[in-house]
Structure 1
Amino acid sequence: MSIHPTAIVEDGAEVHPSVTVGPYSIIERGAVVGEDCVIASCVRISGQTRLGLGNRIDHGAVLGGEPQDLTFTPERARPLVIGDHNRFREGVTVSAGVKDPAGTRIGSHNYLMAYAHVGHDCRVGDHNIFANTATLAGHVTLEHHVFLSGQVAVHQFCRIGAYALVAGVSGVPQDVPPFVIADGHRARVVGLNVVGLRRNGFGAAQRQTIKAVYRTIYRGGLRLAEALAVVEAEHPSPETRQIARFIEASRRGILSFVGAGSRSATDPDEPAAT
């Protein structure tokens, strides 16, 4: 174990011998820090935090801090549980839970750039990227392989589907379905995340299916329940089922489509990219 002389590791913290702790960092009693984690300078890790393997926490990050919830009292604190091989850049803040007994949970292989924030009781999956100052309010669910651009703000209780991309300086007031790009001051769907799908191995036939499904949902002139029944009958595929299940589970509703006339190069009515 390499602990800088100015760092404080309180009695009762469980820190693996392979961990590195930099100057002026604090690991509180009750925290668990797994094998091969690297903690830079001026980091604070609360006693509610459980870190898996190989995580890197850069200067000034705070993990498991007091939730930004006016009802919070110390006895109501819930854990922050983090998986493996995540990167938390400078000034990132992740709140402990307060209302969900399972607390705040972050999966593995996520990359949070400077000053990103994850609010209390959020669920963050795997392989997600938060650009600088991207912010999740409380109780947000982020699936996997999501890209949040800089200064994105996601409203509490919203859900972001897998392989979605939210463009910079967007406010997200409702659920973002899988595989799409959302953009705008009050974000709306502007097209498919074609680049992200290609990079993650989705072939031309899969992208065509996803495009056809969203064309029916957004442009088919059907009630949502009717549209979902049609796409499952006409375009049976794992991607169709994923979209349908996500929408059926929505409590806040899904983002609207920006509509015809958009200048987006990924409009669902444009010829399919291959």
Structure 2
Amino acid sequence: MNIISPMAFVDPEAKLGDNNVIGPFCFIDKNVVIGNNNKLYNSVTIHTGARIGDNNEFFPGASISTKPQDLKYKGEDTLCEIGNNNSIRETVTISRGTASKGKTTIGSGCLLMENVHIAHDCVIGNGLIMGNSTKMAGEVVIDDNAIISATVLCHQFCRIGGYVMIQGGCRFSQDIPPFIIAGKEPTRYCGINIIGLRRRGFSNEAIETIHDTYRIIYANGIIKDGIQEARAKYPGVKEVEYICTFIENSKRGIIR
């Protein structure tokens, strides 16, 4: 049974699962699908195209599946997909997709703090933490278990690797490869995210291998040669292959 405040509006075409709580002054548009056990505090807006899983919390002022802030958007039907067990804090805005990808995707187990913005066609992984007032431009991709501190600005089309820690106030327009700390001004490589990796259960051996891989790659004048050397030294090691493949597939180049 859903609990819906008499001061909330739920469009008759919206589809709700079970045990959802919809607080006062919430607005749920048509063409919205919401799963089970979600809680929407007061003044949450769920726009058309939202597809929301289970056990999510939406705090006051959150605006989900908003019209893309992209002048190329011509009103096409697109989606904003949100997984399970997320905490979407106050005044977070998440745009739906455009014709480019058709949807914006948020994984599961994420914490998006106050005033975060996720633009159109972003692909956000699982287990992420984003600090207050951090902004992701269009078509950004973030891999699982990244931690992005407050007031970070990310250029469109960038990719952020898994298990990274990005220091507060950073702004960047290149990709950030996995397992590292990124910070300072301009944003650059500041070492391995050792504490984060230990908390995630990485062994000391794996951490040392990751550290040595970056030493090889960054010390080499030509990135391609560094990748070849790292692969030769650590054949078949999944963390090394993730790093090398990430860098090889980077379209904007990586921070140095």
- Category of TM-score, reference length = shorter chain: over 0.9
Q: Measure the CA separation in 2 of the matches of 1:151 and 1:101.
A: 26
Q: Give the corresponding residue for 1:29.
A: 30
The residue correspondences of 1:1-274 to structure 2 (distance < 5 A) are 1-74=2-75, 76-221=76-221, 223-236=222-235, 237-256=237-256
Q: Give the corresponding residue for 1:264.
A: none
Q: Measure the CA separation in 2 of the matches of 1:17 and 1:205.
A: 46
Does the residue aligned with 1:50 lie in a helix, a strand or coil?
Answer: strand
Q: Measure the CA separation in 2 of the matches of 1:122 and 1:77.
A: 16
* Structure 1 position 225, deviation (Å): 1.2
Provide, for residues 159-189 of structure 1, a one-character-per-residue CA deviation record: whole Å limited to 9, x for no partner.
0000011100000210000000111233111
Does the residue aligned with 1:185 lie in a helix, a strand or coil?
Answer: coil
> TM-score, normalized by length of structure 2?
0.97
Aligned residues: 254
Q: Measure the CA separation in 1 of the matches of 2:113 and 2:253.
A: 29
Residue type matched to 1:224 in 2?
A: I
Q: Measure the CA separation in 2 of the matches of 1:80 and 1:186.
A: 32
Residue type matched to 1:208 in 2?
A: E
The alignment-based identity, stated in percent, is 36
Unaligned runs of 5+ in 1: 257-274
Contact 1:146 1:162 in 2 (8 A): yes
Q: Measure the CA separation in 2 of the matches of 1:86 and 1:195.
A: 23
Residue type matched to 1:92 in 2?
A: V
CA-based RMSD of the aligned residues comes to 1.0
CA change 1:148–1:20 in 2 (3 A) is same
> TM-score, normalized by length of structure 1?
0.91
Q: Give the corresponding residue for 1:267.
A: none
Unaligned runs of 5+ in 2: none
Contact 1:173 1:186 in 2 (8 A): no
Provide, for residues 64-101 of structure 1, a one-character-per-residue CA deviation record: whole Å limited to 9, x for no partner.
00111122222x24100111111100000000001334
Q: Give the corresponding residue for 1:262.
A: none
